[in-house]
Structure 1
Amino acid sequence: MDNRLAKAKPMKLGWSPEEVERISTALNEVLANYSVHYQKLRNYHWNVKGSDFFDLHEQFEELYTETLMNIDEIAERIRVFGQTPLSTLKDYLKVSTIKETGTDLESSTMVREVLSDFTILLHFMADAVHAASEQGDSGTEEMIKKFINKLEKHHWMLTAFLAK
């Protein structure tokens, strides 16, 4: 191994501790809300019933699978900044605006809950984009904007589903 590489120090990303705190706090808020939302989607996937079962069972699975991937990306982005992502259910529930629901809900109530969660997630995602933009963090900004685009499409589709 080249001796220069062995002695090289890790590169700093270039953000001040205050900037890192602002970005990681915004990302942890998204992470906490996304994590509670994820569990709600699992709940709905397992417990949906009635004439919409086949459509919604599959849709909830697609949503929670995508959500899990996004959660992982957000947590890893927080690690990029040398920060620790929230990772306990206790912390998620403490920080999250999204709240748990019961298991015995009508399918239309489940969909309305998911739509409400999307609105909350979009609010926190917009805050994360703003925080990243203020600090010149294009990596976080692009990642969250990608999530926003997908959530907006899911919102449209579930809204159309309720209009039947």
Structure 2
Amino acid sequence: MNIENVAKTQLDTRLAKAKPIKLGWSDDETERIASALNELLANYQVHYQKLRNYHWNVKGADFFDLHEEFETLYTEANQNIDEIAERIRVFSHTPLSTLRDYLEHSAIKETGTDLTAEVMAREVLSDFRILLGYLVSVLSIVSEHDDAGTEQMIKGYIKRIEKHHWMLTAFLAK
């Protein structure tokens, strides 16, 4: 064996010098997955900001319950946002990252600060329904392309949102 022709590191091989491989998905497939994730990301960002707004501005007899609940929800939403953006990067795409982009691509809309506690809770329930629609859409796309990593992530979000929806619905049923 001629030692001069042996690669010293993996970087010396032709494969390592080639353009990075996108985990086995085609450009069209990664575009479709990343686009769906970006739509979800935009909706999560607007939802997150609404939760912050409500956390800061809730008033009345339900203040203590909802103030704490909104904080729990926005903390979870923030973590989901980070995971979604990082998942988009896994596919070598760029996550949406400006407020303008979020508002433009989101079905969830901003609200004011002068809402009653009950209206705030009902707005969050509405957001959950919208988010679930986007989550199911993403799940359909990633299942079609055998993207088990994103599928597992999305199923976890669905499970948690369904539980939050039930609990907030029960809270409003007083």
TM class by smaller structure:
over 0.9
Match of 1:78 among 49, 70, 88: 88
2:130 is aligned with what amino acid?
A: I
Residue in 2 aligned with 1:61? Answer: 71
Aligned equivalents of 2:150 and 2:64: distance in 1? 36
Q: What RMSD, in angstroms, separates the aligned Cα atoms of the two structures?
A: 1.1
Give deviations 1:20-56, integer Å, cap 9, x for gaps. Answer: 1110011001100000000000000000000000000
- 1:1-164 aligned within 5 A: 3-7=8-12, 8-9=16-17, 10-164=20-174
Give the secondary structure class of the aligned counterpart of 1:3.
Answer: coil
Alpha-carbon separation, structure 1, partners of 2:22 and 2:53: 41
Gaps of 5+ in 2: 1-6
> Percent identity of the aligned residues?
69
- Structure 1: segments with no counterpart, 5+ residues: none
Q: Which has the larger radius of gyration?
A: 2
CA distance in 2, matches of 1:144, 1:71: 12
Q: What is the CA distance between 1:12 and its match in structure 2?
A: 3.0
Shift of 1:4: 2.6
Shift of 1:11: 4.1
1:131 aligned partner, one-letter code: I
Cα deviation code 1:58-114 (max 9, x no counterpart):
000000000000000000000000000000000000000000000000000000000
Q: Which amino acid aligns with 1:19?
A: E
Matched residues, number: 163
Letter in 2 for 1:3: K
Q: TM-score, normalised by structure 2?
A: 0.91
Matched-pair contact (CA < 8 Å) for 2:33–2:141? yes
- Which amino acid in 2 is paired with 1:45? H
SS in 2 for 1:101: coil
Amino acid at match of 2:157: F
Superposed CA deviations along residues 113-146 of structure 1, whole A, max 9, x for unmatched, are 0000000000000000000001110111110010
Q: SS of the residue aligned with 1:85?
A: coil
Q: Secondary structure at the match of 1:160?
A: helix
- Give, in whole Å, the separation in 1 of the partners of 2:31 and 2:107: 20
